[in-house]
Amino acid sequence: MTSRPLMLLRITTSATEEIGLTPHGKLSIFPVTGGSFEGERLRGKVLAGGGDWVAARADGTFDLDLRVTLETDDGALIHMTFTGVRDDANDYLRTLPRFETAAPKYAFLNRLLAVGIGEIHPEGPVHAIEEIL
Amino acid sequence: MNTRLLMMLRVIVAAPQNIGAVPHGTRRTVPLSGGDFEGPRLRGTVLPDGSADWLLLRADGVLEMDLRVTLRTDDGALISMKSFGLRHGPPEVIAAIGRGETVDPATYYFRTTPRFETAHPAYAFVNRLVAVASGDRRAEGPIYTIHEVL
């Protein structure tokens, strides 16, 4: 598969909300307080208010379910979600981001699929997101 | 992005169910009558009952696909696959696909993002990966080349 870089997304979170053991596993919510994204075709900041709903699975991995709002440096809002898997035993954090926007300039985001390669840094997760060509 | 081949999946489509205009676009459900898959680590058949692609043609001309398939490996394991995808391209290419013609898959965008679930220990690795696929719509049904994201 061929791909090309879309953006580097950095997310900052506040204190984790531990929901605890639910029928689907232990659920933790990571509220998003901000962040930034930068790529050749778009850049801007992550708005506060989203989060990542992380469910611990019985096999030791985590299901990720993120939704955030991105604001480009020229004022467009982009709704972004991803699902993904975090498997610490195999150092594997991969996501499938999707985007929705009403801004014509960024309409290309509505028409693409993407993959994120994630890393957990002390200041928060960083996702290198590539467009699937 | 590093990937490696997981499988080639061929599905056979049955008569579509045209739901029609819904609030989010035009909805069509395409049941699958069968198919098969083959890769270095797994191979088998597509179970027809319950496997289908739920399609939504959006106002911007993009076709959203929500494929749900049950795979049965040649050694009897069941694997549930769900795959969200997008398809779009030049109007003449999309029209040719609609007429059942074989079209060069490089002339349109047909990509999906499969996820898998299984209870079978031999295939537990599929629970822990995300995948990307490119599709090639043939008259009898799409052929997906599915790559594991490494």
Q: What's the pLDDT tens digit per position in B136-149?
A: 999 999 999 999 99
Mean pLDDT to the nearest integer, B98-103 = 92
What is the spatial distance between Cα A58 and Cα B83, in angstroms, rounded to a whole number?
A: 22
Answer yes or no: is pLDDT of A9 > 90.
yes
Helix (H, G, I), strand (E, B) or coil at A108: helix
Measured CA to CA, the distance from residue B65 to residue B133 in angstroms comes to: 12
The amino acid sitting at A96 is L
CA distance B131 to B4: 9
d(CA B33, CA A45): 46
Short-list B34, B141, B125, B30, CA closest to B77: B125
Return the closest-CA partner of residue B111 out of B144, B141, B77: B144
Nearest Cβ partner for B134 among A1, A61, A98: A1
Q: Which of B60, B85, B128 sits opposite A85 (nearest CB)?
A: B128
pLDDT for B50 equals 85
Using pLDDT thresholds of 50, 70 and 90, give the confidence band for residue A1: confident
Cα of B48 to nearest chain A Cα, Å: 27
A23, pLDDT greater than 90: no
**How far apart are the C-alpha atoms of B100 and B141, rounded to whole Å?**
9
- pLDDT value at B49 more than 90: no
Mean pLDDT of A76-88: 97
Query: How does residue A24 score in pLDDT terms, banded at 50, 70 and 90?
Result: confident
Which pLDDT does position A14 carry in this prediction? Answer: 93
Mean pLDDT of A32-47: 97
The share of chain B scoring above pLDDT 90, in percent, equals: 98
Beta-carbon separation of B62 and A3 below 8 A: no
Of A83, A94, A112, the CB nearest to B149: A94
Is the model more confident about B104 or about A25? B104
When scoring A62, A88, A93, A94 by the number of chain B Cβ atoms within 10 A, the one with the most, hence best to mutate, is A94
Mean pLDDT for the stretch of residues B83-94? 97
Q: Which residue has the higher pLDDT, A77 or A123?
A: A77
- Over range B13-20, report the average pLDDT: 95
